Amino acid sequence: MFADKKVLGIDIGTRYIKFALVKQGGKPEVVASAIVPTPAGCIRDGLIMDLQALSEKLKSVISENNLMAKKVAVNINSSSIVVRELLLAALKDDEIQPAVQFELSQSFPHMIQTHATAFKIYSRTSDSLTGITTSCPKEIVEEYKKLSEKAGIPIKYIDVNANSLAKAYNHFIMPPGIGDSVLLVDISYSMSQVNVLLDGKLILSRNISAGGAFVDSLIVNRFDISMEEAEGARRNGYLNLSISQEELDSCMRLGYSAVEEQIRQTLDFISYNKFQDGIKSICLTGGGCNFLGLGTYFSNSFKIPVHIAQSKNTSLEVSDTFFILMPAIGAALRED
């Protein structure tokens, strides 16, 4: 039977689909979850490539795991999504949307035609307003509407990865506080994302075309094994492979070099342009961050505390996979 206060969040990645059934309220609760392989070739940079196979997979997983809800929210992650900080002169509510579109058109002339844009206002004064804008390709949004019809799933909300992660972090890891700052580094299979939260508010998001697959490919070449075997070995800490710590460290430095460089650039940007105290901590999320010693390596490199995303406010089953489920959990958290 459907539950009015429950929203099912779904995050469809290149390798895995994540489901999180979240009970809404003053203190949200993850009441059920699931992580299953994505049918091969179904997703490419956020775009649905095989609607039939994906819809059948969603229907079967929801039914088998009893993940029923009247409302479904999906998280979208794509390198084509644009997240921009918003700073405008004081405007009336009906004047904000045209102003946002005008500002975006200065940097992205054709975005109004190609992207659907939403905005969130953080603060208002008599002179100005601040917030964030998110622009997602209309092609991706339309594909998810088709998926909703094909699978018979009541998709009511669509959110972008950066905002979903921010909501999950604020509700389940660290409630927003004045002066708090964190770098949310989401390392997925084929891409990664660096997000900045200040006082619990998303102010910056940057994408990197590199993820866990890069370090897995190094292990594939070293041991002549499949990508699936390399991925499994990474999750298990390479206990079944005859590899030295020196080799592992070398793979880590090379495999995560693009992510490390983007983190460094973002930290420098924030320190020089936003607040001198800089970022207080780094939180790693996504299946690609599951590499033995990665947190310690980044902490030593940036001289900042680094931790894998975990929550004490979830069941043991969910807490063990929280760092992977975060986008699905965040998508299900409603702000309206």
Token pair listed for 335:
């702000």
The mean per-residue pLDDT over the stretch 203-216 comes to: 94
The mean per-residue pLDDT over the stretch 243-261 comes to: 93
Angle between helices 322-332 and 161-172 (to 10 degrees): 100
Q: How far is CA 314 from CA 34, 65, 160, 174, in A?
A: 14, 18, 23, 13
Topology given in CATH for the domain delimited by 6-79+138-173+311-332? Nucleotidyltransferase; domain 5 (3.30.420)
Token pair listed for 116:
């659907």
* CATH code given to domain 206-307: 3.30.420.40
Token pair listed for 217:
């490919």
Q: Which of 205, 108, 106, 227 is nearest to 160 (CA)?
A: 205
d(Cα 203, Cα 130) in Å, to the nearest integer? 10
- pLDDT tens profile 167-201: 999 999 999 888 899 999 999 999 999 999 999 99
**Strand (E) or helix (H) holding 19:** strand 16-23
Q: Tally Cβ neighbours within 10 Å of residue 78.
A: 19
Say whether pLDDT at 83 is over 80. Answer: yes
pLDDT reported for residue 277? 79
pLDDT reported for residue 18? 98
pLDDT reported for residue 107? 86
The mean per-residue pLDDT over the stretch 115-124 comes to: 93
The mean per-residue pLDDT over the stretch 145-160 comes to: 95
Bridge partners of 208? 192
Looking at the chain, the number of H-run helices and the number of E-run strands are: 12, 15
pLDDT reported for residue 276? 72
The mean per-residue pLDDT over the stretch 146-154 comes to: 94
pLDDT reported for residue 2? 43
pLDDT reported for residue 1? 37
Say whether pLDDT at 138 is over 90. Answer: yes
pLDDT band at 281 (very low <50, low <70, confident <90, very high): very high
d(Cα 104, Cα 84) in Å, to the nearest integer? 9
Token pair listed for 215:
């370090």
pLDDT reported for residue 336? 62
Quick one: 137 exposed, middle or buried, by C-beta within 10 A (0-12, 13-18, 19+)?
buried
What residue segments make up the domains of the chain, in order of their start? 6-79+138-173+311-332, 82-136, 206-307
Q: Is-same-fold flag (6-79+138-173+311-332; 206-307)? A: yes
pLDDT band at 45 (very low <50, low <70, confident <90, very high): very high
The mean per-residue pLDDT over the stretch 232-248 comes to: 90
Total-model pTM? 0.94
- pLDDT tens profile 294-327: 999 999 999 999 999 999 888 888 899 999 999 9
pLDDT reported for residue 272? 85
Q: What is the DSSP code (8-state) at residue 288?
A: G
Considering Cα of 23, then 326, then 316, then 16, what sign does the dihedral take? Answer: positive
